[in-house]
Structure 1
Amino acid sequence: MTAFVLVGGAFTGGWVWDAVAERLGEAGAVAHPVTLDSGPDAGLGTHAEELTGLLDRIDEPEVVLVGHDYGIHPVLAAADRRADRVARVVYVAAGLPSDGDPALLLVRDETVRARLAHDATPLPPPRGEEWARWGSVEGLSGEDLDRLDRLAVPQPARTLTEPLRLGGGLDRVPAAAVMCTADGPGVDVVEMLVRTGPPRLRKLAGPGYAFLELAAGHWPMLSHPDALADLLLRAAAGEGRRLGLGEEQPSYERQEFLLETPEVPRERHGRLDVYAPDAEGRRPAVLLVHGGPVDADRVPTPRDTPFYRGYARHLAALGAVGATVDHRLYALTDYARAAGDVAGALEALRAHPRVDPDRIALWIFSGGGLLSARWLAAPPPWLRCLALSYPVLAPPPGWETVGTEFRPAEALAGAGALPVVLVRAGREHPAFAATVEEFLASAGEHGTDVEIVDVPDGRHGFEALDRTDASRDAVAASVRAVLHRVTGAR
């Protein structure tokens, strides 16, 4: 017999699982809806101890730990401590925290994140429409929202600010995720991120992870209890879609640049690397900005890969200063820090004795595209061109924790005469392609000068994935377009 331990998200208790627990019982399982300590001094460690104690008291031979939203944090901590007792962990509308991550990293409400940075008092529960700031309320009836309002309790601050501590036991526990597609990404988007995102996500393509979808908002235990109970039973049985890395893993770390480039000496200045041409006088410069998020301990770092070195050296061979920067976009909440790193690199680049400080181009790739909003909103006169290669230009589903200031389509209202070069991959991931179309629609409304370099058969990261003549032509065309804009007058 299987026992399901059901742990809800912030502000809720075992009552939020009542309907799901009833359905599981009817199917022959045992359900343990959990109400965790909501006292003002409770923390994540408190909740992990409570769940660990419950696991020690359960008699059923197979235990499945289910964590919704914040609830996945104590679930993972308890499963790590009692790995031999837990048959499976199931994520429901939850993030993927790692060791050392506080739950606060996944809180969507910026005001809450700012408050908890200096205020350790419990968070009052949302009321009415405020619930939407914590997740999609799609599918919830008026009665459901009234119930949330009536039964919700304050959330102790330390439950969100204490870091998750894992000791390695969790690696032995299989996992499944119920992806609520009205609240965040579906399985296809997760698979795309596994293939192109930080290396730490690649573990999700292993045999120990399965994924199921539910067309529901953030509280499926209220809006879709029958369907959720069915998916929990399927997850416990080992069902679900497994992800594969396929043959689409970009080899940025190993493959040489698509075009032949000469050896150009590198100068390292903190986070900035400079590749200056063998030419006299001050030259226009192009700063290449990598995408992300990337792993903080990634080796080599983006600027040390043949990919970005190749672009920089190629630009230097054509008479411009090529430059790269390692910015600290390690998580979706790091865009402000990464933007600061890019601004600092631009300042250092403009001060370089080989650089014409009034002729600068910014070339941003992939998930770094959201950083362009800051430069589109108020472009300085020395910024002669903004280039974007297969960019993310609006937060796709699941990226709700990205700060609201990183919305390039909205920032176009202030772009003025700044020219944009957009390299568009014809076989782009649909979630990313939709953000590009949104950006282009806004550019049309604002009269933004956008030159598009299309790569019809190219994929996201085509320079590494599609080493064809068409890809080489696209790289050469995009470089020409950027150099034309940065060397000419506005």
Structure 2
Amino acid sequence: MTAFVLVPGAHTGGWIWEDVAARLRESGAEAHAVTLTGMGDLRHLAGPGTDLESHIQDLLRVIDRADAPEVVLVGHGYGVHPALGAAGRRPERVARIVLVDTVPPQDGDPALRQIPDQALRERLEHGTGDDWRIPPPPAAEWQRQGSVAGVPADALARLADLAAPQPLGTLTQPLRLSAAAGELPTTGVLCGGNGSSIALLETLMGLGDPRLTALAEPRVTFFELATGHWPMLSLPDELAEVLLKAAAGEGHRLSPATYEEPAHLRPFLLDVPERPRERVGRVDLHLPDADGPRPAVVFVHGGPVPEQARPTPRDWPTYVGYGRYVAQQGAVGVTVDHRLHDLTDYDRAAQDVADAVELVRADPRVDGDRVALWFLSGGGLLSADWLAAPPPWLRCLAATYPILAPLPNWGLADSRFRPAAAVRGAGRLPIVLTRVGLEMPEIAATVEEFVTAAEDCGAALEVIDVPLAHHGFETIDRTEQTREAVRHAVRSVLGHLRS
């Protein structure tokens, strides 16, 4: 017999787990939907001293009272922090930890660091005066805490009505992870509607982020649910089933062997001869055989890419291949190593790209009045500034399998990096979009949002569809269809540069 201890996230109480707990009990399991001190109907117990340790002690009492010999701790959002803290104190009682649509924190991380709303996180990091409580979001802003996709209207209204202020100390006190907690079996429940998926996780692991290597250990499993950040409200039956399977040790496992040859380091799909290449700071110029200033195409890589990743993106086969191919066609191919290492780095990366463009335009071998910008993958968000107010020298903007609106769990809802909104300012700027048919659903949704907005405002959009291609197809899908897609896109971009 298993006891599930269900730990709610910020501003909520045990009530949020009621439906899931009922279904677990129907299966014969023991289920405890916990309301932490100062939350839910215990809000009157909150005080300036209520902190993460207070909530860890709450869970220890529940674990110690559980009848079942095995306890599965289930944390959602902030609830993962007290769950992991308690697991480290009672590792002999905890059979598994389940993280519901939440990134596992590192030792010493306060929960504040994982608040999705970047604007709120920055305000809290700079202090809140004498107030020791964080008010819950207004009813219309719960999506800033995570996608509310799939949550019925009455459940969303209840979420807002029953929300309680969160004691600041619960968010600022660092989590201390014991070695024992780090070795416990763990399951991640990823919610596609909030921007999480196994495919996206595998892509990030392939980039070599050492923070993710532990996710490939045999003790770690994953499930996906096609819903937003609140599956206990939107899909309680499905979540209960996933929890039962997780307790039984089921779930998808990531194989370390998958990442011995990362997809992004495989050869480029076109056989392109070497070209002269010059490196200036973060910028590489692939040079054509031509006299006089030539048009240039600046390729902007995706991300976030771990800072320690080697080789860096401008040396990845895809970007070297594009740079050489453009140079072979008579233009200057430019690749840039911008510093998008984390989701909080988009401002810095945007400045890196702007600086690189100015360097390129000032080069005497480049016709500074004929430049195209080409964005790939997560670099797509960096296209927003250029779409919103295109300079006269920008003759074309291209995007290949791009992310064109922030994913719901990125916390960038109010940022300027929203190409799907910025396209309304593009005027007659030619836009060449390469759209892959086998895209990750969470990314495909941003592309469709962009296409709809572009069509509504009459933007000069050309869409090149590649039905049987994946995200990053240049080193994965070596077919005639994908080769022609690259040739087609380059022809279109260079055509706009030369017209």
Superposition TM-score tier, normalisation by shorter sequence: 0.7 to 0.9
Counterpart among 252, 259, 274 of residue 264 in structure 2? 252
Question: For 1:183-222, what aligned pairs fall within 5 Å after superposition?
Answer: 184-185=194-195, 190-199=197-206, 200=209, 204=215, 207-212=218-223, 218-221=229-232
2:331 matched to 1:317? Answer: no
C-alpha change, 1:346 and 1:198, in structure 2 (3 Å) is farther
Counterpart among 70, 73, 76 of residue 78 in structure 2? 70
Measured in 1, the distance between the counterparts of 2:79 and 2:6 equals: 9
Measured in 1, the distance between the counterparts of 2:52 and 2:351 equals: 31
Counterpart among 475, 480, 485 of residue 496 in structure 2? 485
Task: Please report the TM-score for the alignment, with normalisation by the length of structure 1.
Answer: 0.83
Query: Displacement of 1:133 after TM fit?
Result: 3.6
| Kept in 1: contact 2:338–2:352 (CA 8 A) | yes
Question: For 1:354-369, what aligned pairs fall within 5 Å after superposition?
Answer: 354-369=365-380
The residue that corresponds to 1:235 in the other structure is: 246
One-letter amino acid matched to 1:107: I
Query: Displacement of 1:144 after TM fit?
Result: 7.5
The residue that corresponds to 1:419 in the other structure is: 430
The residue that corresponds to 2:102 in the other structure is: 94
C-alpha change, 1:170 and 1:485, in structure 2 (3 Å) is farther
Query: Partner of 1:87: helix, strand, or coil?
Result: strand
Measured in 2, the distance between the counterparts of 1:358 and 1:257 equals: 31
Counterpart among 379, 390, 402 of residue 390 in structure 2? 379
Question: For 1:324-335, what aligned pairs fall within 5 Å after superposition?
Answer: 324-335=335-346
Alignment length (residue pairs):
482
Query: Displacement of 1:465 after TM fit?
Result: 0.7
Query: Displacement of 1:102 after TM fit?
Result: 4.9
Query: Displacement of 1:348 after TM fit?
Result: 2.6
| Kept in 2: contact 1:259–1:472 (CA 8 A) | no
One-letter amino acid matched to 1:286: V
Question: For 1:7-406, what aligned pairs fall within 5 Å after superposition?
Answer: 7-14=7-14, 16-17=16-17, 20-21=20-21, 24=24, 27-29=28-30, 31=32, 33=34, 35-36=36-37, 38-40=46-48, 42-44=50-52, 47=55, 61-79=69-87, 85-98=93-106, 102-120=110-128, 121=131, 122-135=133-146, 136=148, 138-139=150-151, 142=154, 145-146=157-158, 149-150=161-162, 152-161=163-172, 166=177, 169-180=180-191, 184-185=194-195, 190-199=197-206, 200=209, 204=215, 207-212=218-223, 218-221=229-232, 228-242=239-253, 251-255=263-267, 258-269=270-281, 271-396=282-407, 398-399=409-410, 401=412, 403-406=414-417
Measured in 1, the distance between the counterparts of 2:306 and 2:13 equals: 34
Query: Partner of 1:64: helix, strand, or coil?
Result: strand
C-alpha change, 1:336 and 1:161, in structure 2 (3 Å) is farther
Task: Please report the TM-score for the alignment, with normalisation by the length of structure 2.
Answer: 0.82
Q: Greater shift after overlay, 216-225 or 284-293?
A: 216-225
Name structure 2 gaps, 5 residues minimum. Answer: 39-45
Query: Displacement of 1:82 after TM fit?
Result: 5.7
Query: Displacement of 1:30 after TM fit?
Result: 5.6
C-alpha change, 1:403 and 1:349, in structure 2 (3 Å) is farther
Measured in 2, the distance between the counterparts of 1:393 and 1:147 equals: 30
Query: Partner of 1:266: helix, strand, or coil?
Result: strand
Name structure 1 gaps, 5 residues minimum. Answer: none
C-alpha change, 1:330 and 1:403, in structure 2 (3 Å) is farther
One-letter amino acid matched to 1:194: L
C-alpha change, 1:398 and 1:242, in structure 2 (3 Å) is farther
CA RMSD after TM alignment: 3.6
Identical aligned pairs, as a percentage? 52
